[in-house]
Each structure stands twice: as structure tokens, then as C-alpha cells.
Chains A and B, each alone.
Chain A
Amino acid sequence: MPLINCNNIALSYESRTVVKDLSFDVHEGDYLCVVGENGSGKSTLIRALLGLKSLSHGSIVFSEGLSKNEIGYLPQQSGIQKDFPASVYEVVLSGTLNSSGFLPFYKKKNRLTAEENMEKLGITDLKNACYKELSGGQQQRVLLARALSATKKLLLLDEPTSGLDPIVSSDFYRIIEKLNRDDGITVIMVSHEIKTAIKYATHMLHLHRNHSFFGPKEHYLECNDCKKLLEGGSDNV
């Protein structure tokens, strides 16, 4: 049984239908890359998967092994305020809140999870640093550590590398790949850097209003849409 089953879904954004008749499955361990033009509904799809947005048609079914508080999410940077006073540790620790239920305070287990994930992403020495004073790449690592503190199974990333320089950005892709390969975390990533994204993905979802493509990467590379995108030469697809 797939981890996530999207059956014939339609999504609308400000009363305009952006995605129609879309069906796809995500299995455990998949690395799904979502691409498409601006306004094609990539972020809307992510929000729908997270349950933040209701579907106008169809259904999204999660497998029994995956409950809503086991999803790690890396939002677009713009959602976070630039001048918020928060230490790295506070931010990462807040990712573990979903597993602590109604308990008012963090348990030792939560602290250990947060520390493990900071270690994994190489930000342990930034523990007490102020989030807003970090570089863009460091901030993304912090948010990724927070997402990992919320999940061991599924990561949803919404354009995680926008605004990062190419070196930092390719570092970031390598971290994600490692999490997918070594820790078996399922990854769903929205990206506009199609050339880099396609290198690591196992499956591709190309959103287009009436004929979206979904399938393994190998099939996608042979289809015309993909060639058009890749030949377009720019990363801003």
C-alpha cells in the first residue's frame, strides 16, 4: 500500500482551478520532485498534502502507518519573520512539539531528538546562536533540523533552495539525498531548479493544468515536456 495515495484531485486557488484530474502515489522511500511553471499549483499541492488546504475534488489517503503529526515540513522562507528573536535550539526543539501532546513542557526525549538532529545537520555549535543572524544556508539547515524533529518518515519541502547561492544549494541537495538514501525518509520536494532536482529524484510530478505528468524519473526524461523544460536552459522554470 502506498504511503500517500492522491486520487483524481482538483485544487483551486482563489476560486481558480489550478490542478485538475491529478492522481499519483508516493511509496515509502520515494524521492518525489514536483516541478511546474509559476502558478501551476506546486505550493498549493503541498499545502493540500499537509491538510492546510481543502480539495475541491478527489481524495488524499495516507497509509495507516502515517499520522498527521509525523510529517516534517520545510516551508518557504518568506513565511518566517526576519526579525524574530529565537535561538537555534528553540526553533529545532519546537519541531518535537507534535509528539508531546498536551504536556506543557519538553521531555528529555524531545531534547535528545533535537540535539541528534542538530548534530546530523552540523549545526550543534550554533545551538545558542540567534536564528535571524544566521546565513540563508544555515537557516535552512535549522529549519530542516526542525522538520526532522517532527518526523522520521516523510519530509515535505517547498522550494528549499530558493535564495541560496549555488554551492550552499547543492550542499543542501546532498543532505536531502543522504536523508532519503541512508535514513529511508520519503521526500516530496517542490523545486524550480529542475536540473539539480532531477539528479536526485526517483519520481517526477510535473504539474500542468490539464495534462500533468507523473512517473519514474526515467520515463520523465523521455517525455517531451521534460525536454522542453531542460532545453529551455534556464533554471527558473
Chain B
Amino acid sequence: MFDFLTETFMLRAFIVGILVSLTSALLGVSLVLKRYSMIGDGLSHVGFGALSIAAVFGIAPLAVALPVVTVAAFLLLRLNESSKIKGDSAIAIISTGSLAIGIIAVSISGGMTVDISNYLFGSILTMSHSDVVLSTILASSVILIFVLFYNKIFAVTFDESFSRATGIKAGGYNSLIAVLTAVTVVVGMRMMGTLLISSLIIFPALTSIRIFKSFKSVIICSSILSVSCFFIGLVSSYILETPTGATVVCINIIAYIVFYLISYVKRKLLQHRRSAS
């Protein structure tokens, strides 16, 4: 029954999927805690705009999307710091703007091509060899950089003014988070689709925060959760013949509900014990 697991396209999907799940889980924790949950969503729309334009000119999609999304990530963080446009409106402006440009570009280039629809809804099962190599390199570098700067990312996320005050270059680490997020979104778009990639960033973090109380345990739980949900999602999407990206998201929703229930029961038990004693 599980023969399909050894097929080449499945193996590719697993390698890229696990790496992307890991990167998005790691970054997701910082983004959710910094109240930047929607940045992933905004950036994926920017990614869509960039891809469509790349399609018009016949350029390789990732080569255009990566720099454009990175610039957008910087802009969003900058706008967040200045108080003239609030963070959520900044994201709305940039994401709907690029969506509009993307739609125009798509219609110019002669409607929805397979390539564009692949990026819109994700198509992890049709990845080429070069897609896999590029995704693997990018995702591994994100993971490596995150691990190396883990302590500083914690400090800056927990209390930016203290970090700045004691001489940590908080601005630099915010930019670092922005670049890593941009890379994650671009790589993840291929797999999850621009419409769904942000859920991969947000869900594992939100789910883990329900139960775990230290930063390290939340990070570890998110990583395990994200990879497991992806694995279960990919296998069940194959068996049920459902779209992979959407199935992974649904598994994440189930995990969130389970964690929510566990934390609810734990809280009730604690209250019960307190009132009893």
C-alpha cells in the first residue's frame, strides 16, 4: 500500500516538504510573537505578482520572486517601525497592490498558464530536479542561520528595547528575520501555493504556544509538529487524492484543535485541584 513512497516525485516532495516545514516553523514562532503573522501572507501575494511578471517576460520565476519578495519584506518591517502607516495597513497595501499587478500581468500573458496556477495552489508533486536542489539549498541555509542566531533572535523578539539598550543590533536582526521569511515564503510557494503558504508559518507556532511555556520548547514542538503535519498531509493527500497544500493545512488545523483541547482540559484540571485544596 505504501509503495508510492519510494517513487521519485514522492521522494522529492518529502525532501523539500520537510525542509520547508522546518524553516517555516522556526521563523513562524518569531513572526507570530512579533505580531507579524500576516507578513507571510502579504509576502506571498508579492511573490505572486513577481511570478506573473516573470511569466510575461519568460524569465525563471524564482529568480524574479526571490529579490522582489526580499525587498518587500524589508519595506514591510521598515513601515512597521515608522508610525505613519500601521503594520497591518502596510501589509494590506503591499499585498493587494502586488496582487493587482499580478492579475494584469497574467491577463497580458494570455490567461492562467499551468505554471502560474501551480504557484497559486502549490504543486509539490511536480517539482523538477533543479527545483529540488534550489529549495534544498535555500531552506538548509535558513535553518542553519536560524540556529546560529537563535539566542539573539530570542532576545530581540522578547524585548527589543532591552536588546537595543545593551548594544545588540536589533535592527540588523529584524532585517535578518525579514530576509529569512522572504526566502521561506518563496521556497514554500512552490509547495503550498501562494494562497496557503502563510498558514504553514503561523499554525505550528500558534499550536505549540497553546501548551509549551518556554521559547525553546515552543521552537522544538513547532518543528516536530510542522514536519509531522506535512508528512501526514502528504500521505493522506495521495491516498484521498486531494490537493497536497490544502490537505497539509487541514491537518494543521486538526493539530491546533487537539492542542487547544489539551490545554483547556489541563487548565480545568488545575482549577479543579486548586478549588479542592
Chain A residues within 8 Å of B, Cβ to Cβ:
50-52, 68-69, 71-73, 75, 79-81, 83-87, 90-91, 93-95, 97-98, 104-106, 128, 130, 132-133, 146-147, 150, 156
Contacts and interface: CB of A to CB of B under 8 A. Distances in A.
A97 B155 contact: yes
Given A95-B166, A133-B213, A52 B158 contact: no
Interface stretch (B98-106, B125-133, B144-152, B249-257): B144-152
A69 B148 contact: no
Interface string B51-65: 000000000000000
Contacts, number: 88
A146 B162 CA distance: 10
B169 to A, nearest CB: 11
A81 B167 contact: no
Interface centre among A104, A105, A133 (most CB of B within 10 A): A104
Interface stretch (B3-11, B70-78, B214-222, B223-231): B214-222
CB-CB nearest 7 A-B residue pairs: A130-B213, A87-B214, A69-B167, A50-B165, A73-B165, A98-B166, A94-B155
**Interface SS, B side:** helix
Nearest to B221: A85
Given A52-B164, A68-B167, A104 B149 contact: yes
A104 B150 contact: yes
B33 interface: yes
A126 to B, nearest CB: 12
A52 B212 CA distance: 33
A75 B161 contact: yes
Nearest to A89: B214
A80 B213 contact: no
A68 to B, nearest CB: 5
Contact of A106 (B151, B157, B165, B166): B151
Contacts of A87: 213-216
Contacts of B33: 81, 84-85
Interface in B136-186: 147-152, 154-155, 157-168
A80 B163 CA distance: 12
Given A75-B159, A79-B159, A80-B159, A86 B215 contact: yes
Contact of A94 (B147, B158, B212, B213): B158
Given A79-B161, A97-B152, A90 B214 contact: yes
Interface of B: 33, 147-152, 154-155, 157-168, 209, 212-218
A97 B214 contact: no
Q: In the complex, which of the residues A50, A90, A94, A128 has the most CB atoms of chain B within 10 Å of its own CB atom?
A: A94
Nearest to A105: B151
A69 B166 contact: yes
Given A73-B162, A98-B167, 15 more contacts: A50-B164, A51-B165, A68-B167, A71-B167, A79-B162, A81-B33, A84-B33, A85-B33, A85-B215, A85-B218, A87-B216, A94-B158, A97-B151, A98-B166, A104-B149
A8 B167 CA distance: 25
A147 B149 CA distance: 21
Nearest to A86: B215
B166 A85 contact: no
B154 A94 contact: yes
Contacts of A84: 33, 157-158, 215
12 contacts: A52-B164, A73-B162, A79-B162, A84-B158, A87-B215, A90-B154, A90-B214, A90-B216, A94-B159, A97-B166, A104-B148, A104-B149
A38 B219 CA distance: 40
Given A71-B166, A73-B165, A98-B166, A86 B214 contact: yes
Nearest to B216: A90
A87 B160 CA distance: 17
Pick the most buried of A71, A97, A146: most chain B CB atoms within 10 A of its CB: A97
Contacts of B166: 68-69, 71-73, 95, 97-98, 150
A150 B162 CA distance: 10
Nearest to B208: A85
